[in-house]
Amino acid sequence: MSIELNEDDIDRIIGMAWEDRTPFDAIEAQFGVNEQAVIELMRREMKASSFRMWRQRVQGRATKHVAKRDFAEGRHKCDRQRAISNNKISKR
């Protein structure tokens, strides 16, 4: 990964990756980290068992991929996302 991320960014990316309705496109828009880089980051930062559980949840999940969704906008945000500081998406 060529993008330098601080601890807060890494924590937020992991949180967004765990959220079912936050697509990888939202992570890329906010942090410049594509889906493959998120997978690599999760593999590096998490325990092996937690990573396997996350991958099993994410694989094939339509809500994690904008192109596979049956709704256009407004539903990818967690209801707590607005309260998180330094979150560029919620401040738009």
Dist. CA 28–CA 73, nearest whole Å: 16
Burial of 75 (0-12, 13-18, 19+ CB in 10 A): exposed
Q: Tens digit of pLDDT for each residue in 46-70?
A: 999 999 999 988 887 776 666 655 5
Containing structural domain, residue 17: 7-83
Grade residue 85 by pLDDT with cuts at 50, 70 and 90: low
**Number of separate domains in the chain:** 1
Asked whether residue 75 is domain-assigned, the answer is: yes
pLDDT value of position 22? 85
Exposure string of 16-55, with b = 16+ CB inside 10 Å and e = fewer, is: bbebebbbbbbbeebbebebebbbebbeeebeeeeeeebe
Q: Tens digit of pLDDT for each residue in 24-52?
A: 888 999 999 999 999 999 999 999 999 99
Q: Tens digit of pLDDT for each residue in 9-18?
A: 999 999 999 9
Asked whether residue 89 is domain-assigned, the answer is: no
73, 81 Cβ separation under 8 angstroms: no
